[in-house]
Amino acid sequence: MGLIHPQSEKFNVINGNPSEIIQSTSFWLSGSPIINPMTNNRMILQISSSSLFRIDNSDIYRYPNIDIGLKVTKNLALTYKSYGFRSGDENPHVLGGGLQYYFGNKDTLDWSSTFQRVDIKGLKYFSLTSLLVDIRKWYDWKNFKFRLGVGSNFFKQRFFSSSNISPETMKGQVNFIGFDLSIPIWTMILGLENRISTQIMSSTIYIHKEIF
């Protein structure tokens, strides 16, 4: 699946800050679909847009997201993403997946843990692998659902020789606090997810459809 996204400078490590761009890209890639542990539907589609705000400056990075989730058992769901988009003269492709495990007492699965790996390919100057590990607690209030938890984003990146950037590889970790809310609207779910670390904040608006 492909789409066009107008912001071209978010992957330009030549004219921008390489460390900032890599960290922001990885933090974006570590986003995962929000699947209600208590839903009886098997498959979900989530389309969203993420805005990343730097704590140390005024830069804002915006990215598109397309996620698919498949609930294979009461306690386990598999997630997958594969899409490309055009951003200026870049044509990145996002590919990855993971799993979500739900647990709690006998009647209420109000805890979820996520493990995910996502790669971005097709960029001019670098490739990157982003890993996510997080745990969340679900809460209900009237028609709203909330999640609160913590997580870590690990990344490994390689600059291509054409970038002339040294060192050629970069590794890192970003720990964060996550909180979000959602509300059903007709046959869909509208939500807002937020993740905050000491250096960066991500805010994602999403539309979520449970297919069957």
Give the tokens for residue 198. Answer: 């000491």
Counting Cα atoms < 13 Å in the Cβ hemisphere of 147 gives: 28
DSSP readout, 81-112? EEEEEEBTTB--EEEEEEEEEEE-SSS---EE
Supply the range of the domain harboring residue 90: 2-208
The per-residue pLDDT for range 28-73, each reduced to its tens digit, is 999 999 999 988 889 999 999 999 998 877 778 889 999 999 999 9
Q: Is the dihedral of CA 65, 193, 115, 35 positive or negative?
A: negative
- Is 43 within 8 Å of 71 (Cβ atoms)? yes
Q: Is the dihedral of CA 140, 144, 150, 156 positive or negative?
A: positive
The per-residue pLDDT for range 75-108, each reduced to its tens digit, is 999 999 999 988 878 889 999 999 999 999 877 8
The per-residue pLDDT for range 105-138, each reduced to its tens digit, is 877 899 999 999 999 999 988 999 999 999 999 9
Q: Give me the CATH number covering residue 167.
A: 2.40.160
Question: Pairing mode, if any, of strands 2-4 and 76-86?
Answer: parallel
- Is 122 within 8 Å of 93 (Cβ atoms)? yes
Task: Report the predicted TM-score, pTM, of the whole model to 2 decimal places.
Answer: 0.92
Asked if residue 185 has pLDDT above 50, the reply is yes
Q: Measured between alpha carbons, how far is 152 from 148 in angstroms, rounded to an integer?
A: 14
Place of tokens 């609160």: 148
pLDDT-above-70 percentage for the chain: 92
The per-residue pLDDT for range 139-177, each reduced to its tens digit, is 999 999 999 999 999 999 988 876 667 667 889 999 999
Q: Measured between alpha carbons, how far is 208 from 147 in angstroms, rounded to an integer?
A: 15
Q: Measured between alpha carbons, how far is 60 from 58 in angstroms, rounded to an integer?
A: 7
Asked if residue 8 has pLDDT above 90, the reply is no
Q: What's the domain count of the chain?
A: 1
Give the tokens for residue 189. Answer: 């779910």
